[in-house]
Structure 1
Amino acid sequence: MTQNPVLAAAPLPTGFDVVRSTAASRAALGVSIVLVLLAASLPLWGESSWMREFVEIACYFIFAMMWNLLAGYGGMVSIGQQAFFGFGGYVMLMLGNFAGLNPFVAIPLGALAAGVIAVPVSYVAFRLSGGYFAIGTWVIAEVFRLSFANISAVGGGSGTTLTALRGIERATRESVTYWMALACVVAAVALVYLFLRSKRGLALLAIRDNEVAAESQGIPVARMKLAVYVVAAFGAGLAGALYFLGNLRISPDAAFSVNWTAFAIFMVVIGGIGRIEGPLVGALIFWALNKFLSDYGTWYLLGLGLLAIVVTIFFKQGLWGFAQQRWGWSLFPTQRVLVRGGMER
């Protein structure tokens, strides 16, 4: 039986070492731990509005991170990920309102349901490729929207309210929602980072670059693509369940709007596609623009479009990609670099 050369470890030349981290990444790890611990204490001293803003940013970031995993690393450009975003939100609401389950417990279950439903959906989506795949995923999302719009138990086209939180005090609800959002952000970054640093992550990049060549080297292309598609759906469902828990209301037009994927594409392109830091930078920029400029109506949308055009023309790899090329910044390095023994990066 031949060993997969992509996944196999090759012997190192004498006097060389494989370096997988940088001084910047090690410093970033320490700073990140301090920031997470500080952020975890926010409900003890911060204002409730700050927690709500963080939950919104967290949902943007997680959704953009999953789209980046799917398209930026997996090469599967989808404009229908809102199908799983809305599905996770609706499952969370139904488990809370109808099954009597604590909505906070229902959040990971909603995400799990989105990942499960992605398996049969993939049988349809993976029959298409390229632009047809992108349009096909959009059509699938519209099928989800129309299906939930015709379910009267969840309010039909007008939507419904999450009533399962009525017995929980507002301060407790906001604090727990915030802590769950923080935990979801940390988990999303950690899991995606560890996956991309693994041999499976290398295989995924090989599939993105050339499916035929990757398969000829023994990589199970179909299985890898399905796994990434399911994980991206799980993450999108997690973001949706978290978002509508904080919003307390859901409707088909809000849950399955194509704007969610459009916003994710904007965030990833602005920050830098195919980089873990990209969705984080893009989510912060998008939130700031949405926070301070949304009152300007159509001028706000024109500003988003103008910014996207400027970045794609002058910073083709996104703002973080430009910074990485110019100054060598890499907070989450996934590549392996061969250096002489004793040398530091």
Structure 2
Amino acid sequence: MTHETLSSSSSQAPAAASAWTVTTRNRASSVAALLIVAVLLAGIAAPLFASRSVLQDLFFILTMLTLAQCWNLLAGYAGLVSVGQQAFVGFGAYVMAASVALGGFDPVVAILFGGLAAMLLSVPTALFVFRLHGAYFAIGTWVIAEVVRLLLAQWKALGGGTGTSLPTGVARELPGVRLVADWFGVRPAQAADMVYYWLALLLACAAIGFAYRLLRSKQGLGLAAVRDNGQAARAVGIDPNRIRFAVYLAAAFVTGLAGALIYLQKARISPDAAFSVTDWTAYVIFIVVIGGIGTIEGPIIGVVVFFILRNLFADYGSWYLLVLGLLGIAIMLFAPRGLWGLFTERTGIQLFPVRRILAGGPLTKTIKGGPHG
């Protein structure tokens, strides 16, 4: 082989390598991005034409979606199946109530205090439960939630075991309530519902945006590696405990914010309600499982299904829980990846693609690192 041939071959190799690019987007996701923007704009404008009852339903959907995204981040991506997330909901709510009722703080500042307090609570919690694995981890998170509930039930200044109501008129102290009431000519109570809704929308979008950005980053790739095989991830220089600890703290912070916002809107708090394992963990797990664990879209689908079933069967008492349980079992048996996973398998459509795709050469293939491989 001549020297010229070698030079030509070596000069073509970098050009061929540079032709390959790693991306997470495709044509379907680009169209989906436009749809998401349209839905978001419609969501922002919803209070202008929706009734108070509709706004309250949307508030419920958005706050449950936020909680579901946080649990999905833990279980679906970090492999941390917690059944004690009510600890952060309740603790964030109680710190908010104390900040408003006892400290006289602005409600929005009190919500931030609730999120920060939940994140601080997650530090000693993580130091304990991270020593446990599998079912023991799940039980450990539930035990800690019960301990926190029993401790706060002794807080006499906030009503002890029976709870307390927030000061009258606290909703009117929300920033923007008077401005919204004047601009749109509505009563202060309706204006407060509008502000609550916008705060819930902001929080849900922040939770989804944070999860999407994380999963598309190098840290997200490391998180997927830790979930799939912790020992192999450690072998390539990834610290499983550190990355799981960071995700655990972030999920606790957002969960605490959601809990504080929920009970600010309710204007009343009690230990049994704020630390309800059914309301803030069992329902959240159901939402994620039927929607699709390990996907960002799954909780969105799941919360819509849950809301519909809640309205249809809420008057049937224990039958309502029975229907939810049977549906959850059926989904796990016949569609283990959830409704969204079943849809994606048949269509290939992803609204929030996180799988790495090697494109630009003669072949296009997916690189490991997506929600299911």
* TM-score bucket of the superposed structures, by smaller chain: over 0.9
Quote how far apart the aligned CAs of 1:14 are. 5.4
Quote how far apart the aligned CAs of 1:198 are. 0.1
Q: 1:274 matched to which residue of 2?
A: 294
Which residues in structure 2 correspond to 1:234-253 (within 5 Å)? 234-253=253-272
CA distance in 1 between partners of 2:364 and 2:129 (Å): 45
Gaps of 5+ in 1: 1-10
Range 333-342 or range 100-109, more displaced: 333-342
**Alignment of 1:292 onto 2:312:** yes
Quote how far apart the aligned CAs of 1:93 are. 1.1
Quote how far apart the aligned CAs of 1:88 are. 0.9
**Alignment of 1:201 onto 2:201:** no
Q: 1:189 matched to which residue of 2?
A: 208
Partner deviation per Cα, 1:267-300 (whole Å, 9 max, x = no partner): 1110001000111111111111112211011111
Q: Of 69, 83, 89, which aligns to 1:85?
A: 89
SS in 2 for 1:254: helix
Q: 2:235 matched to which residue of 1?
A: 216
CA distance in 2 between partners of 1:279 and 1:100 (Å): 36
CA distance in 1 between partners of 2:323 and 2:265 (Å): 28
CA distance in 2 between partners of 1:180 and 1:203 (Å): 32
Gaps of 5+ in 2: 1-14, 173-187, 366-373
Partner deviation per Cα, 1:92-145 (whole Å, 9 max, x = no partner): 111111111121232122112111221121111112111111100000000011
Aligned-partner residue type, residue 156 of structure 2? S
SS in 2 for 1:308: helix
CA contact (8 A) 1:64 1:265 kept: yes
CA distance in 2 between partners of 1:45 and 1:251 (Å): 33
CA contact (8 A) 1:52 1:246 kept: no
SS in 1 for 2:359: strand
Quote how far apart the aligned CAs of 1:160 are. 1.0
SS in 2 for 1:41: helix
Q: Of 356, 362, 368, which aligns to 1:336?
A: 356
Which residues in structure 2 correspond to 1:142-181 (within 5 Å)? 142-163=146-167, 165-166=169-170, 168=172, 169-181=188-200
Aligned-partner residue type, residue 347 of structure 2? W
CA contact (8 A) 1:112 1:237 kept: yes
CA contact (8 A) 2:29 2:350 kept: yes
CA distance in 2 between partners of 1:121 and 1:14 (Å): 47
SS in 2 for 1:34: helix
CA contact (8 A) 2:357 2:364 kept: no
Aligned-partner residue type, residue 302 of structure 2? G
SS in 1 for 2:21: strand
Aligned-partner residue type, residue 300 of structure 2? L
Aligned-partner residue type, residue 30 of structure 1? L
TM-score by length of 1: 0.93
CA distance in 2 between partners of 1:249 and 1:343 (Å): 59
CA distance in 2 between partners of 1:167 and 1:331 (Å): 36
1:128–1:336 distance in 2 versus 1, CA, 3 Å: same
Q: 1:119 matched to which residue of 2?
A: 123
Q: 1:3 matched to which residue of 2?
A: none
Q: Of 246, 250, 260, which aligns to 1:231?
A: 250
Q: Of 324, 337, 347, which aligns to 1:317?
A: 337
CA distance in 2 between partners of 1:223 and 1:273 (Å): 22
CA distance in 1 between partners of 2:86 and 2:190 (Å): 30
1:263–1:177 distance in 2 versus 1, CA, 3 Å: same
Aligned-partner residue type, residue 360 of structure 2? R
Aligned-partner residue type, residue 332 of structure 2? T
SS in 1 for 2:358: strand
1:27–1:109 distance in 2 versus 1, CA, 3 Å: farther
CA contact (8 A) 2:164 2:270 kept: yes
Quote how far apart the aligned CAs of 1:344 are. 9.3
Q: 1:39 matched to which residue of 2?
A: 43
Quote how far apart the aligned CAs of 1:164 are. 5.8
CA distance in 1 between partners of 2:296 and 2:169 (Å): 34
Of structures 1 and 2, the one with the larger relative CO (CA 8 A, separation 6+) is 1
Quote how far apart the aligned CAs of 1:342 are. 9.3
CA contact (8 A) 2:77 2:227 kept: yes
SS in 2 for 1:66: helix
How well do the aligned residues superpose, as a CA RMSD in angstroms?
Answer: 1.9
Aligned-partner residue type, residue 311 of structure 1? I
The size of the alignment, in residue pairs, is 335
Aligned-partner residue type, residue 55 of structure 1? F
Identity %: 47
Larger gyration radius, structure 1 or structure 2: 2
Aligned-partner residue type, residue 287 of structure 1? F
SS in 2 for 1:337: strand
1:13–1:255 distance in 2 versus 1, CA, 3 Å: same
TM-score by length of 2: 0.86
1:220–1:264 distance in 2 versus 1, CA, 3 Å: same
